[in-house]
């Protein structure tokens, strides 16, 4: 896990250290090549000359290369730690930003839904109140009118009955006995009474129609109340579903963080295994050589290839 191009822009100090480490590795590689050339030339000299030259040069070179390798390891570990820390902080900030954005969207949807529901409820309540008041006023006026017409009808019926009884008992019978047929006056009076009765009946019939219309309006109000109850239930269901979605989003975010942590641990294990492999390869390559200095990891990789 090394610093990438984006990571170098995020941590310039780590990039500078990495560049210095690469330059040091290059100088160490050049020195190692020179040392190998010296070793090859020394192998052609007499045995006593080789014994006199090798210990001091090798010891100094080994110390220098070992110091370079330790510095390189420290710089690489520091760069990896800095990159891992920055990457983890960036991921945490991105996750927090996503959670905050999701929460803001959820709050906006919830506010919009609540405002819409309140507007619908307010409009319905206002319409219901107006219709109820109009219904009560119309019903009271119609009841009063019906009572008045019923009273008038009853009065006319009583008058009609009295007139008929009077006609039949007294004048009408007498007139028939004297003249043999009713006079035009009484016939007109009866026709007028019948006309008035029919007119009142028509008015009562019209009032009955108005009552039926008011009953229809009342039924529509009941249907509107049922719709309001249904909207309230849907609002509660939507709130429950919203809470469930929020819980699922949090669970997914937690699983994502756990998966990233597992991937980071796996990457660390792979890096550790790679270092152990390089160390083992170094030991195998130098088991029978008897050299007192350690090769750099880059040189071991080149030899292995």
Question: Tell me: the pLDDT tens digits for 47-102?
Answer: 444 444 455 666 776 777 777 777 777 777 776 766 766 777 777 888 888 888 88
* 172 CB-near residues (< 8 Å, 6+ apart): 166, 182, 186
Neighbour-count burial for 86-106, b at 16+ CB within 10 Å, e otherwise: bbeeeeeeeeeeeeeeeeeee
Confidence of residue 16 (pLDDT cuts 50, 70, 90): low
Range with lowest mean pLDDT among 46-50, 118-122, 146-150: 46-50
What span, in angstroms and rounded, lies between the C-alpha atoms of 246 and 302?
53
pTM greater than 0.85: no
pLDDT at 174: 64
What token pair was written down for 267?
Answer: 């990457």
Chain-centre distance for alpha carbon 32: 61
**More confident site: 21 or 238:** 238
pLDDT at 48: 43
What span, in angstroms and rounded, lies between the C-alpha atoms of 248 and 250?
5
pLDDT at 273: 94
- Mean per-residue pLDDT, 282-288: 81
CA distance to 90, 298, 302, per residue, from 305 (Å):
37, 11, 5
Cα dihedral sign, 275-280-285-286: positive
What span, in angstroms and rounded, lies between the C-alpha atoms of 172 and 164?
9
């Amino acid at each position: 896990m090394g610093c990438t191009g984006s990571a170098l822009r995020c941590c310039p100090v780590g990039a500078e250290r990495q560049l210095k480490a690469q330059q040091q590795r290059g100088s160490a590689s050049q020195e190692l090549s020179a040392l190998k050339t010296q070793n090859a030339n020394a192998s052609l000299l007499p045995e006593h000359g080789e014994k006199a030259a090798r210990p001091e040069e090798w010891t100094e070179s080994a110390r220098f290369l070992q110091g370079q390798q330790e510095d390189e390891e420290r710089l690489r570990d520091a760069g990896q730690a800095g990159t891992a820390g920055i990457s983890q902080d960036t991921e945490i900030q991105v996750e927090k930003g996503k959670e905050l954005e999701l929460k803001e969207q959820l709050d906006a949807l919830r506010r919009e839904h609540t405002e819409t529901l309140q507007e619908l409820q307010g409009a319905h309540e206002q319409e219901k109140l107006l219709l109820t008041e109009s219904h009560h006023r119309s019903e009271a006026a119609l009841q009063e009118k019906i009572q008045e017409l019923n009273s008038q009808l009853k009065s006319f019926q009583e008058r009609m009955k009295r007139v008929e009884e009077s006609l039949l008992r007294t004048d009408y019978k007498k007139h028939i006995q004297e003249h043999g047929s009713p006079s035009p006056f009484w016939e007109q009076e009866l026709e007028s009474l019948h006309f008035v009765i029919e007119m009142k009946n028509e008015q009562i019939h019209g009032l009955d129609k108005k009552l039926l219309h008011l009953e229809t309006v009342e039924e529509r109000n009941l249907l509107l109340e049922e719709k309001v109850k249904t909207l309230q239930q849907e609002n509660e269901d939507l709130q429950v579903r919203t809470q469930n979605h929020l819980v699922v989003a949090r669970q997914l975010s937690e699983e994502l963080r756990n998966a990233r942590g597992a991937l980071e641990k796996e990457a660390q294990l792979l890096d550790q295994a790679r270092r152990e492999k390089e160390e083992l390869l170094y030991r195998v390559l130098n088991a029978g050589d008897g050299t007192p200095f350690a090769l750099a990891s880059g040189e071991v990789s080149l030899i292995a290839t």
